[in-house]
Amino acid sequence: MATTGEERRAQLAEARVYLILTVCDDEGAWRSPLMEALRSGAVDVLQLRDVRADERRTYFLAGSLQILCHAFGVLFLLNDHPDLAAELDLDGAHVGQEDMPPSEARVLLGPDRLLGLSTHDAGEIEGALRMGVDYAGLGPCFPTDTKTLERTPGGGDLVASCRAAAGDLPVFPIGGITPANIATLVAAGARRAAVGAGILGAEDPAAAARALREALSAR
């Protein structure tokens, strides 16, 4: 498993399917779909988005998920909490525009862990490049029930409008992406995607993950 910054960034550059696991309770309804998705071999990155208020639970869950991800050769990142990501020696962390500034997150993470930033347009993509993040999430692309949207979904037009600004920065379109609509983003130039319910909420999570990867790898 990648352990240096160079190895992690090389693995990220080859990534296609970035899975987002949102945890809001302790029922563990997500465990079986997650295992199916990881066993498919189609997932490259997993991000834990733990919206529970108990940071101690986040700490222990992140530690156990990292072991699982590394067993499958999958990069594991934590949404927010770059301090915990560093303490647990995770592969990295992801921050939003309204969260901790990337410069502060980088200090906590150090140079060898990945740092991602949420973006919504070409201007924010350009800002991400200036701030030295390792990748960007770009959205929302389609309507989603996972979180309240403050911006109108941009679909393929959003992806196309940011291609020139991104340059070599890995960009993962996000927001309501499923195997049924991924072709729209691929036609606009997407080669990666960040997906939550489109995989974990599917009747067959493994098949959904494989279908997304096949579509993103078609060109």
Cis geometry, peptide bond prior to residue 143 (ω within 30 degrees of 0): no
Q: Respond yes or no: is residue 64 known to be catalytic.
A: no
Which tens digit of pLDDT belongs to each residue from 176-202? 999 999 999 999 999 999 999 999 999
Q: Respond yes or no: is residue 147 known to be catalytic.
A: yes
CB atoms within 10 A of CB 167: 10
Residue 146 has pLDDT above 80, yes or no: no
Q: State phi, psi for 197 to the nearest 5 degrees.
A: -65, -25
User: Which pLDDT value is given to residue 133?
Assistant: 98
Query: Of 88, 92, 54, 55, which Cα lies nearest the Cα of 75?
Result: 92
Q: Which of these ranges, 47-56, 83-92, 100-109, 186-195, has the smallest mean pLDDT?
A: 47-56
Given the residues 8, 16, 49, 192, the one annotated as active site: 49
Domain ranges of the chain: 5-216
Q: Respond yes or no: is residue 31 known to be catalytic.
A: no
Given the residues 31, 57, 147, 151, the one annotated as active site: 147
CA distances from 87 to 65, 84, 116 (A): 15, 5, 18
The answer to whether residues 125 and 164 touch, using CB atoms and an 8 Å cutoff, is no
Which tens digit of pLDDT belongs to each residue from 23-39? 988 778 999 999 999 99
Distance CA 34, CA 116 (A): 22
Q: What is the mean pLDDT of residues 143-154?
A: 80
Mean pLDDT of the chain: 95
Residue 12 has pLDDT above 80, yes or no: yes
Given the residues 16, 113, 118, 192, the one annotated as active site: 118
Q: What is the model's pTM?
A: 0.96
Considering the domain 5-216 in this protein, what is its CATH number?
A: 3.20.20.70
Distance CA 135, CA 63 (A): 23
